[in-house]
Every structure is written in structure tokens, then in C-alpha cells.
Structure 1
Amino acid sequence: MITGIILAGGQASRMGGQDKGLLALHGIPLYQHVLTRLAPQVDRVCINANRNQSVYQESGCTVFSDLPGNFSGPLEGILSSLKTIETEWAVFAPCDVPNLPTDLVTRLWHGKQQKHATYASDGQREHPTLLLIHRSLIPKLEAYLERGDRKLMLFLAEIEAIPVLFADCPLAFQNLNTPDDLSNWQEAKHE
């Protein structure tokens, strides 16, 4: 059993502070594009959101915020999620990757070998928020954050997470960080 978690808890500073997951792409909130692609790949989907939770709850998904702490960034959302879910495994996807692969979970699962974490790479860039991780890593993540570290890639190196190559679909990981990204995406044709 694997729980899918959409990370929608960021401040979206490059989007002018708007809640990125709720921005419309072709008339549909951005997070729903991710939900549509992720839901068939997992047993259930939850959403990690720190604002507009009632709007996200309209999706029928369980919605929860980061646990109280002085941390910030995706690692806080990952830690909060791992502490909230009931399954041993979680797969994460950010709310701003509307074209994520429909075989993401299968490929991450088969690529993990004997490790407890794996993440996507398109061959040019690492995509650490597209992550499959086991709950047994909670203590290591807590210790990492308590040291004041915040960089997701450094944490993944520390736990020896395995990168899984998705060179066959580099556009699948294009994220929409700015209003221009969103506008350009809507003008282009994507599968």
C-alpha cells in the first residue's frame, strides 16, 4: 500500500504569494491535474496544504497542514505527511507538475532496489520532490531538520536515495513556478 501526497503547502513566492495549487490551468486548479495523474497509481491521495484547506477538501482527499515546527520548505511537508499517513510507503508530487508520468510510482518502486527512498531525474535535472520514501526514515529526517538543514537533495544523499531516470519524458517534470510559466504552458500543447 502506498499513499500519494500532493505537496501544496509552499508559499509560492514566485507566484506572487498566490496558492499555486489553486491557480487555474485550462480552467482546472493546478493540483487537480496532478491528482488526476497520481490517483490511479496509489491506494489513496492526501494533500499537504497550509492554507485554503476547505477548497482542497472539495477534492474528497484528506487534507492536512505541516505539523507545528520552525521548519519550512518541502522537507517539512514531507515530514508532516510521513507522520500523518498510515501506510509504510509514501510517494510525493508537487502541486505544480501537471504532466507527471502516469507510471511514476511503478518506476520509482522498481528503481528503489533495497533502499528506502528514490526520486525522479530526467537526465538533466534532479526532481527530489517526486519522491518515494518509507516511513522508517522519519527519525533521520527529524534529526536532519533539527540540525538546521533544509536542502532536500542533501537529505536524499544522506539517506542514499536512488535516482530513477525518466529521460524518455523530460517534459513530464516541467513545473509551473511563475505566472509566465503558467501562461506559457496554457499556450503550448502538452500531452
Structure 2
Amino acid sequence: MGKFDLAEKYYRRWLSELPSNDPSLCALYQRLGTVADAKGEYDTSLEWYQKSLEIIVKTRPSDHVSIGITHNSIGVVHGNKGDRGRALESYNRAVSLFKQAHDENHPHLASFYNNIGLIYQEEKKYFEALDFYDKSLAIDNKHLPPDHPDLGGSYNNIGVVHDCLGHYDLALDHYNRSLKISLKSLPAQHPDIASTYVNMGLAYEDKDELE
């Protein structure tokens, strides 16, 4: 709902009522980290995620999936801070942990690969970005229904990279796929739909189809 201060209030109340050795602290620290990230309080977010990570590593060292998810969350915060190197390091650590768990088609890996693709896109390493976006899309296609908005997001991201590479028709093909899914799965006024329309407009502009 975007009411981050209210969410934090209840999480802190929960925190004040828990003993210091309560097993649910790990999840609570994760949620406090998510709220702090959403509020733009990135250093605070990293502190909460680190607390959560320390508990998991001590109590469930072989739980590669949970540890990997936390590393991905840490990577997102570093990315939001503009530290692409540390973000990429955290994402790669998350992927490595899932591979150790022999869970290479886990649904969470789709978001990890997407996040790595975003970093490469920002660094203008477009072919590397495409490779990771394609990996993300392949996993999502195995686990999600065909009209899921995450698939729309993946097609949009792939379209952006093709546009950057000058592949305008390929970009428009992916934007149209994204738009078709988004119009079915999201509210009509959703900002993701607006974003795809903007991207389509830019691709047509690049093609000199100004009308």
C-alpha cells in the first residue's frame, strides 16, 4: 500500500515484544530492511539485512536458498545506492548459492538474473544484459501463467536493450508483447503500462516514424 512508516511502526512493535533469541527475528529483520529500502534509507536497510544474514548463517548454514535471497536483497540496496560493483557481487553470490542447492530453475533465480541484467544494461554491456534477461524470461516461462505481469516486465526490459542496440523492430516486437500482457494483467492506469508506451514512442522516434 506504500504506507512504509505505518509498516515500520508495526514491525518495530513486533521487535519490542520478541526475546533476543526468537527464531522469527530473521524474517522480521528482512522486512525492516525492505521497508527501509523503500523509504530510501539504504544504509539502515543494509544493517537490517546484515542482521538477518548473520542469524541465518549461524542457525541454518546449509539453507542456501534463504541465504541467497538475502544476498539478492542486499544487492538491490547497493544498486539503489548506485554501487553497481557491490550490487553485482551480491547478485552473483545469490546465484552461486542457488546453484549449490541444485535449484537452478528456482523461481527466485529469475529475479536474480533480471537484476544482473539491469546492472549490465546500466553499464552499457548490452549483450551481457540480453543474456541474463533471456535466462530470467526462460525461468519465468516455466513457472508463471502466460499473462503474468513479471513476463510483461521481462519483455519490456529486453525491448529496451534492443532499442539501445539499434534493433528497433525487435524492440517494438518485445514492447508489444509486454503491452499485451500488461493490459490484461494490470490496472489500466498502472505506471508500467505508461512506461511501455513511452518506450514504444522512443523506438518509433528512433525509426523516424514521428507520427
TM-score (norm 1): 0.29
Which has the larger strand fraction?
1
Which has the larger helix fraction?
2
TM-score (norm 2): 0.27
Instruction: Look at both structures and tell me which one has the larger radius of gyration over its CA atoms.
Output: 2
